Amino acid sequence: MLMSTLLATVADTTSSLEWSPVVGGIMVAANIVAIALGKAGMKYPSAPPAAPASNFFGGFGLPAILATTSFGHILGAGVILGLHNIGKI
């Protein structure tokens, strides 16, 4: 019985969230916030290995860039899905 219930479960794709400039702007803003938080809170933001053209990334090393932009995408996805869930976007 449990298996048939699991097999009958499908995702609701009728109200899927599509990309728009608003969604892109939210993601960019979330990444900027994450980078600012990383710049203020990281003990060693310029740890090696160095990023190529690190002057474009505020002097961050590669680990700091990957960490802050990963956090920014998680933050952005949460904000986008939350706003979509309450019907704002």
What is the span of the domain harbouring residue 47?
21-85
User: For residue 28, is it within any domain?
Assistant: yes
CA distances from 68 to 10, 27, 55, 81 (A): 34, 13, 16, 20
DSSP secondary structure letter of residue 55: G
- pLDDT at residue 8, rounded to an integer: 65
Model confidence, pTM: 0.74
Structural domain total, the chain: 1
Residue 61, helix vs strand vs coil? strand
* Residue 59 located in a structural domain: yes
**Does any domain span residue 8?**
no
Please tell me the distance from the alpha carbon of residue 14 to that of residue 64, in angstroms, as a whole number.
38
Q: What is the mean pLDDT of residues 21-27?
A: 94
39 occurs within a structural domain: yes
Per the prediction, the chain carries an average pLDDT of 83
Do the domain assignments include residue 7? no
Residue 70 pLDDT exceeds 80: yes
CA–CA separation, 71 vs 36, rounded Å? 11
Q: Please write the tens of the pLDDT for every residue from 48-66.
A: 887 777 677 777 888 888 9
Does residue 63 lie in a domain region?
yes
Q: Within a domain: residue 1?
A: no
Share above pLDDT 70 across residues of the chain, in percent, rounded to a whole number? 82
Is 2 a domain residue? Answer: no
Please check whether residue 54 is in contact with residue 45, taking contact to mean a CB–CB distance below 8 angstroms: no
